[in-house]
Amino acid sequence: MVAMEQYYMVAVYLLQGGLFLAITLGLLHHVLRNYTGKVENVKAKPVDKYFNTYYRYSRFQGATPKTDYIIVFDVGGKTKRFQVSPFVYDSIQKGENGALKYKGSRFIEFE
């Protein structure tokens, strides 16, 4: 019976270690791709833009609204989505051609 409990504990530790490793590697990949990768500069056209408003709950502030502004670009037949600021969202119109500059999944600018 003791051996079975030891196997169980080893399995739990291995599962926890694997989960920790997977999360750590995923975060590291995200940071490296978005902050140390090369800047891409491509021809693109905004094909859609939308926003999502939702509420974030805090024990101290209660429910506060938050809005994410999303612009979808057509880049050589593929679509890329970027979360942008409200000012960028208002300044970019659907259908206008231009040069999109981004790094990983981070929007830099559209001219």
Amino acid at 48: D
Report the percent of the chain where pLDDT is more than 90: 61
Average pLDDT over residues 88-108: 93
15: CB partners within 8 A, 6+ apart: none
Record the tokens describing residue 74, joined without a space.
């057509």
CB atoms within 10 A of CB 84: 19
pLDDT digits (tens, 9 = 90+) for 24-73: 998 888 777 777 778 889 999 999 999 999 999 988 888 999 999 999 99
Q: What is the pLDDT of residue 1?
A: 63
Question: Which pLDDT score, from 0 to 100, does residue 108 have?
Answer: 93
What average pLDDT does the chain have?
Answer: 90
- pLDDT band of residue 91 (cuts 50, 70, 90) is very high
